[in-house]
Structure 1
Amino acid sequence: MAFVEPVTLRSRGIALVPLSLAHEEGLRSAAADGELWRLRVTSVPEPQETRAYIETALAGREAGQRFAFAVTDEATGTVLGSTSFHDILPAVKRVEIGYTWYAKRCQRTHVNTTCKLLMMGHAFDTLGCHVVGWRTDNYNHASQRAIERLGAHKDGVIRGHALRRDGTIRDTVMYSLRSGEWPEVRAHLLYLLDKPRPSRGGE
């Protein structure tokens, strides 16, 4: 039995659905909103690479290393982006959350906060994880701010850790949250989601 079993997570009009080849066109359309593949510090697939992106994610799921979701609008089924549990370590009950991206129109709305609340809730409350981790490019300052807003602890920087899509070598910033910190973080995320916000949102 896999540590992360297939599941659909729902809240506030968002549904995280196990990623499949049926989401290919939806993912391609979501990435086209903002031409997100042009950002050198993200993992968003170029249009012609969308199917291979999904196949790679499914291979990771088969190997028990990654479980990818399509982020969808619950009412319409429209694909808004993607996110994953990855670097899944059942023996120590640790997962990381990453491979996360959203169509430009969804950025700085409630979507990311809702997805993180759903995924952390599943990791800590259902899977019984001790730790949830994140990693990001040292130049992806927006991602670092978003992770820090969640209440995650910055563990450090792994230098010369991975290749970017343009062939340069990146340093990776590592973050984590322990299970004992989750109740306070959950309360904070619910507060952010429930507070009044401008039309474009704040988190």
Structure 2
Amino acid sequence: MNAVLPATLEFNGLRLEPLAPQHAEGLRAAASDGELWTLRVTSVPAPHETAAYIATALAAGDRLAFAVIDARSGQVLGSTSYHDILPAVGRLEIGYTWYARRVQRSHVNTSCKLLLLSHAFDTLGAGVVGLRTDCENLASQAAIERLGAKKDGMLRHHALRRDGTVRDTVMYSILRSEWPAIKSALHARLERHAGARAC
């Protein structure tokens, strides 16, 4: 797998920029849309924590975090990351993903996942891309499964939630051999969504 270096990715009216301190105010506004930090099964920062959230992401040696930007308005819509990057086995994961409430259940998540998966498989040469979520985050599990990812299993008593409880983590993955069919399906989904919006 090629080195995972900072890159700006664009597609379908969205831009993924490497997360940086100048995104703090935009992240604060995105998180405030729906008070997302109050959800115990997510990693969304509280408004006063966005600068620390960015600093933590930048300090992680195996994470490349992005700000999700509306390319037309320049507004920050949320954040997502590559993480647990293992070049020796050609593996990375996509996670730390969250969006302002107003763009949830829109084309944004599918478009971002298509961007990140395309870059991982087609540019970086990854052999597998993993995704993970809290066992109680049923909406996230459903979204990952709609991507076409396969459930690998559950890591029991795996990670701390923001409220101090310990979660079980559901693990998913997409293999390189599965990517062409998933890529086609994601493009088709976006075309259907665009058609529905045009009606």
Question: Which TM-score band (shorter chain)?
Answer: over 0.9
1:97 aligns with 2:85: no
Distance 2:93 2:163 in 1: 24
1:43 aligns with 2:73: no
Distance 2:3 2:53 in 1: 22
Distance 1:90 1:77 in 2: 33
Distance 2:17 2:166 in 1: 32
Distance 1:56 1:5 in 2: 18
Alignment counterpart, residue 168 of structure 2, candidates 168, 171, 176? 171
- Give the letter aligned to residue 158 of structure 2: H
Distance 1:158 1:59 in 2: 25
Stretches of structure 2 that go unaligned for 5 or more consecutive residues are none
Does the residue aligned with 1:112 lie in a helix, a strand or coil? helix
Give the percent of matched residue pairs that are identical in Structure 1 and Structure 2: 64
Shift of 1:3: 2.0
Change beyond 3 A, Cα 1:34–1:198 = farther
Matched length: 195
- Aligned position for 2:135: 138
Task: Using structure 1 for the length normalisation, give the TM-score.
Answer: 0.94
Task: Using structure 2 for the length normalisation, give the TM-score.
Answer: 0.96
Shift of 1:106: 0.5
1:192 aligns with 2:189: yes
The CA deviation string for residues 97-134 of structure 1, in whole angstroms up to 9 with x for no partner, is 00000000000000000000000000000000000000
Stretches of structure 1 that go unaligned for 5 or more consecutive residues are none
- Aligned position for 2:6: 6
- Aligned position for 1:128: 125
Shift of 1:6: 1.3
Runs of 4+ deviating beyond 3 Å? 196-199
